[in-house]
Homo-oligomer: A and B are copies of this chain.
Amino acid sequence: MKNMSRQADHRDKQQPDTQARILNAAEMLFAERGYAATSLRAIASAADVNLAATHYHFGSKKHLLSTVFHRRIDPINEARLAGLASLKAASQPLTTRSIMAVFFGPLRSEAVVSHLPRMLGRVFSEPETISRPILEEQFMEVASAFLTELNAVHPDVTRSELQWRLHFVIGAMVQLLLIGTPLGTEPGRENPEDGLEHLLDFCVAGIEQPGHETGREELP
């Protein structure tokens, strides 16, 4: 990892960019098996590069995961913040649905071309010490931006209450990214974008909680 800006200057080799091949293979395998269960040898083999190349270009397995992660999540979070900004710039008033549609929107564009969805869901539930700090730090900015807008739409709900609801929104989102179609249904038959529509409906209802003032039973 002595000088990484070299091969970016002229990328006309026989084999496509070694770094990108490693990143793609790592992304696929991390998504399929998780971090701990994926070996650098499996990554190097899938990328058809030498084992030492992974350390040469990325230094360590943890740093490789971090790079794989940021390569996908950074554009998504940028798109989320940009979408939120353009939504506020528009004339119509914001709604829970329009806010959450912006939140889930970036998941669609990348979903077809990469393994990000399952990768994201997998990393989100990794026990490794680096994954959670990265995730938390990276997610806090966009989360607080969306929380502020949701709070503007629901001024009668406390911010901490909305934090809980967004917490469950993320859980439902991870479930979709990680598992896909519901347990007991065979996957592959449905359009992958259908899941996002169901997710949006579910989360909008969960955030708005219109039945909140009705009487409730206690847990048994």
Q: Which residues of A contact B (CB under 8 A)?
A: 32-34, 36-37, 83, 95, 97-98, 101-102, 104-105, 108, 121-122, 124-128, 135-136, 139-140, 143-144, 160-161, 163-176, 178-179, 181-185, 193, 195-206, 208-212, 216-220
Which B residues are CB-close (under 8 A) to A220? 83, 101-102, 105
Cβ A217 vs Cβ B185 within 8 A: no
What copy number does this chain have within its complex? 2
Cβ B128 vs Cβ A37 within 8 A: yes
**CB-nearest residue of chain B relative to A162?**
B182
Cβ B175 vs Cβ A170 within 8 A: yes
**Whole-angstrom CA separation of A109 from B149 in the bound complex:** 37
Cβ A140 vs Cβ B211 within 8 A: no
**Whole-angstrom CA separation of A198 from B125 in the bound complex:** 21
Besides A34-B127, A105-B219, A171-B174, 10 other A-B contacts (C-beta < 8 A): A37-B127, A101-B220, A122-B127, A125-B125, A125-B178, A161-B198, A164-B198, A168-B202, A201-B209, A201-B212
